[in-house]
Chain A
């Protein structure tokens, strides 16, 4: 951390502005996802209050779909909890990676920040930390925009879900893969970008068709990380960004 970066953190207003602006692209994806989740959860027998409680307390869309889906099938509670844990396991790696970039956060801020560490939040924070010091102002303003939008459109979906048209018409069923791909290429300057990409993609596909979902996420990711660990040397300066 140098003095220029310190000065940037104290300029909180611009940090908040950047955080809010940074969240804009992902809102396009969150809006339909949140609406559809609200509608699906109601269909599976949850009350509106339970839908909102789910989104307020868990705040991890993929695992919420899994929970609601298994609940509707009358699966035992411990299997549902294990499934949610498995789907969310990638977050362990997120918190390990981003934790050391939260030097300007207080302990309480860190504990709150990890609660909000969803996929886009993690990716945006990594991208931010590559160029500047990651500030609480940036982190929490980004999170607030995403979290509030997520909850609001959950409620919209829960209340008016029956009115939703076929999401395929607008391509919104496929926004997330496109979004994540674009995010990945934002990290192309990092050491070992292409080999890690190839290894992770390859192992992820193999695991997806053999072991099955959601393990392709953790195992495919772990394979890329193993490659990076194996090809690292002590003297090498790691590229950042």
Chain B
């Protein structure tokens, strides 16, 4: 097998291991402690926040502002509307301010 193809396959296996790993580990236990339960309950909030947080400060003020606009809109409206508003704000601000 070609070296690059082999590398791709190993990376695919490593990725699948992470995607099923948490489930396989947890399913070995009969019951889950309430603290672990609480920690798992906030995974979407904690990880997605950690994913985005640096981009608030590593880009320009226009980019940071568009994230905040998207977040404020998300309090009231759907995901699609919030993303559209954040994106529109970014495009408008970029074309006038930058």
Interface size for chain A: under 10, 10 to 19, 20 to 34, or 35 or more residues?
35 or more
Binds B, one of A6-14, A115-123, A144-152: A115-123
Taking the complex as formed, is B97 at the interface, i.e. its CB lies under 8 A from any CB of chain A? no
Instruction: Tell whether A99 pairs with B50 under 8 Å between CB atoms, given A46-B4, A182-B82, A197-B45.
Output: no
Write the B12-46 contact mask toward A (1 if CB under 8 angstroms, else 0).
10111111111111110000101111111111111
Give Cα A208 to B67, complex, Å.
Answer: 18
Interface size for chain B: under 10, 10 to 19, 20 to 34, or 35 or more residues?
35 or more
Q: Are A57's CB and B12's CB within 8 A?
A: yes
Write the A178-214 contact mask toward B (1 if CB under 8 angstroms, else 0).
1111111111101111001101111111001100010
Query: At the interface, is chain B mostly helix, strand, loop or mixed?
Result: helix
Q: Are A97's CB and B87's CB within 8 A?
A: no
Q: Are A123's CB and B4's CB within 8 A?
A: no
Across the interface, which residues of B come within 8 angstroms of A196, CB to CB? 42, 45-46, 49
Using CB atoms and an 8 Å cutoff, list the residues of chain A in contact with chain B. 24-25, 28-29, 46, 50, 53-54, 57-60, 63, 67, 71, 77, 80-81, 84-85, 88-100, 110-111, 114-115, 117, 119, 122-123, 126-127, 168, 170-171, 174-175, 177-188, 190-193, 196-197, 199-205, 208-209, 213, 216-226, 228-234, 236, 238, 240
Using CB atoms and an 8 Å cutoff, list the residues of chain B in contact with chain A. 3-5, 7-12, 14-27, 32, 34-59, 63, 66-67, 70-71, 73-75, 79-80, 82-83, 86-87, 90-91, 94
